[in-house]
Structure 1
Amino acid sequence: MVLDPAAARGLSQAALPRRAHVCLLTGAEAGTDTWATAVAIGAGAVLQMPEQEGELIRELAEAVEAARDEGRGGEVGQVIAVIGGSGGAGVSLFAAALAQSAADALLVDLDPWGGGIDLLMGCENLPGLRWPDLSLQGGRLAWLAVRDGLPRHRGISLLSGTRRGQELDCGAVGALIDAGRRGAVTVVCDLPRRLTDAVQVALDRADLVVLVCPCDVRSCAATATIVPVLATINPNLGLVVRGPSPGGLRAAEVADIAGVPLLASMRVQPRLVEQLEHGGLRLRRRSPLAAAARRVLALLPNSTAVPGGRAA
């Protein structure tokens, strides 16, 4: 509800029940009487126009989100953080597969030196915000505004890095994840192994942290070294093991050595690298990658996977 001072005074005199998301707008700096009226009616904000037009837009967006949340019965989205147990584990690929397999997803690229996950998805030419374009004011982002500003590819909203690396602001990362959660979408975070402040924010907010590990001895050893560090940030850890297994090591053995539950394992997917070089990831329903992604998504409450995954 948006009121001018006269309407606010009338509302105060009528002694009507208070309601959320009331804004009182003034054309000049608010005086004592205006503030007293705002307190009397329970206004959430007193804004001077046009100087505080941006704050009004944010208040309206939050009111819309609150109404949507009420209509959903308070349903929120789930957050999955994907990180490599070793270098070259295929983290971005599995994060992309999770996003493509979810009913509605936000894919967040948190590797500032990875060249941009939009390249892997094959949507680098789509218009929309990338990390350098994201300007955060007020510590909160409205999901509807975020969704409308981001590239959307095959049903996925994504925020990608660019070809020029830059460190990410941890406040912006937290605000983006929170916006996706409030929007009731599955938020998938693609993390580097370097535990920056931004990465730790994503790990802390995650409902599930997925470690991806190749099925070889050295990768297994590397995964075992990072598990205790991750567990201090978020104990909800699980392992996805990626083939091939050149020495005959089994996925269950990798999980035992790493000391985390095995969520899924997947064999080699033929011609995948070639596909990524020519148009980006197109997840096929019966592929090992899609099957592993669906198994992980099935572990999350309120997370709906697309039956069989999205068609290529």
Structure 2
Amino acid sequence: MEHRVLGVVGASGGLGASTLAVALGVRAAASVGATVCVDGSFERGGLDVTACIEHEPGLRWPDLSDVRGEVDGADLLRSLPADGVARVLAARGSPVPDDVVGACLGALSSICALTVLDLGGSLRWVAECTDVLLVCGPTARHLADAAAVAAEVGRLGVPVRLVLRAGRREPVTGEQVAQHLDLPHAGTLVDDSQVVADAERARAPGTRRNGAFVTAVDRLLAELEVCAGRGVDADRVSA
């Protein structure tokens, strides 16, 4: 069984990369079993806030700062906050030792078919990824930022694909942006007002049964062939 570590990075701020990261974990869980969404940037906090589970008990990155030696992936996964099958390992604005991050990522990815790593504003952990989704907007500024990020990821030898974030009447297509950046086009996220409404109602991204956003996320997962494998069963995590 293939264990994927899917990195998600926004070429610029405000493109919804964290929302996409959570939705990927939520949508994939129904097909592959337990998944985990991980904050890969520690300067800020709150992937659990994006997932609307900041009130749920469980470990966050600062709680793991003193971990030493081998980490049991199943035990760690069980200890993370969740609302449903997808679990979240969130930052709290505090640095975590590199060896702890590496050990925890390795442990989680060893038992989950999909680990979604929200790279945030840092590419520090991109080398841990098997694939990277680069979220880019359609403006000249977005394209310049995306080109710089793609070049840095490419130097590390990690496959990167483009996800265009666009308005409903955006004249530029994902294929055009991908061609400009010389990247494979994974999909397009069209603005969906339901995502904002869900966040205001403390509803996690990806939990709707239908809508433009969840349809696009499902297409991304199919394009990446994420749902071909299966990780640890949800029953094992909740036991």
The normalised TM-score by structure 2 is 0.85
Structure showing greater relative contact order (alpha-carbon pairs closer than 8 Å, 6 or more residues apart): 2
- Tell me the secondary structure at the aligned position of residue 148 of structure 2: helix
By how many angstroms is 1:237 displaced? Answer: 0.6
- Tell me the secondary structure at the aligned position of residue 106 of structure 2: helix
Question: For structure 2, which runs of at least 5 residues remain unmatched after alignment?
Answer: 232-239
Tell me whether 1:278 sits opposite 2:204 in the alignment: no
Contact 2:61 2:91 in 1 (8 A): yes
User: Whole-Å Cα distance in 2 between the matches of residues 251 and 216 of structure 1?
Assistant: 12
1:114-140 Cα offsets, whole Å, 9 max, x none, are: 3311111111111110111013211x2
1:9 paired residue number: none
Aligned residues: 223
Tell me whether 1:237 sits opposite 2:144 in the alignment: no
By how many angstroms is 1:88 displaced? Answer: 1.5
Contact 1:128 1:151 in 2 (8 A): yes
* AA at the equivalent of 1:176: C
The normalised TM-score by structure 1 is 0.66
- Tell me the secondary structure at the aligned position of residue 209 of structure 1: strand
| Cα root mean square deviation, aligned | 2.1
Tell me whether 1:193 sits opposite 2:121 in the alignment: yes
User: Whole-Å Cα distance in 1 between the matches of residues 180 and 78 of structure 2?
Assistant: 44
Change (3 A) 1:150 1:249: same
Aligned mate of 1:114, from 44, 47, 54: 44
1:1-312, aligned counterparts within 5 Å? 75-103=1-29, 104-134=34-64, 135-138=66-69, 140-162=70-92, 165-195=93-123, 199-200=124-125, 203-244=126-167, 248-283=171-206, 284-298=208-222, 299-300=224-225, 302-303=228-229
- Identity, in percent, stands at 28
User: Whole-Å Cα distance in 1 between the matches of residues 205 and 217 of structure 2?
Assistant: 14
* AA at the equivalent of 2:185: L
- Tell me the secondary structure at the aligned position of residue 36 of structure 2: strand
User: Whole-Å Cα distance in 1 between the matches of residues 110 and 188 of structure 2?
Assistant: 31
User: Whole-Å Cα distance in 2 between the matches of residues 289 and 271 of structure 1?
Assistant: 8
Change (3 A) 1:240 1:304: farther
By how many angstroms is 1:148 displaced? Answer: 2.1
- Tell me the secondary structure at the aligned position of residue 210 of structure 1: strand
By how many angstroms is 1:275 displaced? Answer: 2.1
Q: Which has more radius of gyration?
A: 1
1:64-89 Cα offsets, whole Å, 9 max, x none, are: xxxxxxxxxxx352110101112222
